[in-house]
Structure 1
Amino acid sequence: MKQNNLTTFFMCLMLCIGFSMHAQLNTPRGSQQATVSQRVGISDISITYSRPSVKGREIWGKLVPYGMNNLGFGTAEVSPWRAGANENTTITFSHDAKVEGKTIKAGTYGFHIEVKPDNKATIILSHDTNSWGSFFYNPDQDALRADIITKSTTHRELLTYEFNAITANSTIVSLIWGKKEFPLNIEVDVTKIVLDDFRGKSNGQLGFQRQNWENMANFSLNNGGDLN
């Protein structure tokens, strides 16, 4: 009897181990994950997303429907496009910034797009960063909405985010997929950020070096800042 119980125990143990190994199985996804980043001044902007392929499909108005839609799953009554695949696409700002002229606080946000049929779109940044896609989208979690004009472009098989038109205090981040581009203008107040960073460190070792104060004074003077 004891031998039978022992045999049963080990069989159950091996079965549990088998289930555990299966649950941890790591295989490639159909839409691979990617992260793209850009520094503007001393501020970092990064986007983490998954990259679906066109695969000969009609994207705009078909695979990605126009407007807000009931996806038939999750808690959202209507949802925008997830702007990628799989989990939430997210955008992270290391400092406060402006998106299409609207202020956004430093932090990480879910990134969604309401695609429209007239070459217009609405970018939606959400406080919800952990949900799967847009299935649980809640407009009460919106941190920012910005209207943009889309562009026609050459075919891009893999959905791609890229940074272009980089200046001393701004950049344009574009989502490109199929033959459509969604450009989004981002600005940072480099002078304020640099001076605030110095003020935050000036009570430490950095503030006891005369050269640092002279460098900050020159930076402030040359960039229209206020070191007071």
Structure 2
Amino acid sequence: MIAELLRELSNHDERVEERKSALQQLIKLTKEDTVGLWEEHFKTILLMLLETMGDREAAIRALSLRALREILRNQPARFKSYAELTIMKILEAHKDVQKEVVRAAEETCSTAANSLQAEQCVRVLCPIVQTAEYPINLAAIKMLTKVVEMMDKDLLSPLLDGIMPGLLQGYDNQESSVRKASVFALVALHTVLGDELKPHLSSLTGSKMKLLNLYIKRAEGGSASAAS
């Protein structure tokens, strides 16, 4: 069964309907408890999907991302050796000209943030946040924010020196969406770390600090009302 699916998926840029069907079958398989399948074929399936994400057909690209999302959800531990490659490919898909592919990339990013090991995610994302162009940097900051929100103080604190340069740089970006995402990421850090974050914000101008404090207060107000 899986050998047939892989053979079909290897017809890059051809047999569109057949490959759509193969991807849909693969998505079904990911939801079944087929341990033997993943033991034997995980690497082959993953590399095939990452390659198929570059297909000419937008529908195939989107389905590849959806299949990857299901594998991330159901087989997260198997990605340990492939986290960097997987994250990079998902982020690159945010550059796609087709909305359905970008939407699938955003959903897959969100699942990756929940499924992959948090510390590993942070280490992969920090250099991307610092060096990537828009919209990849934006997607990386949003994913980083989701990861940070799920971390505890003890795990997050030692990673702060690696996280901050990219976010401070992002807060200065010419793209308003990148600036806003950077502020939300800083708010997420503050929610976990509290005053421990303050020394890392000393380079911010008065107006930037004021805006950040406004968002922090808003977040604290939101969590306080949610708790009451």
TM range (shorter): under 0.3
**Which structure has the bigger radius of gyration?**
1
TM-score (norm 1): 0.27
Higher helix share: 2
TM-score (norm 2): 0.27
Higher relative contact order, chain-length normalized (CA < 8 Å, sep 6+)? 1
Higher strand share: 1
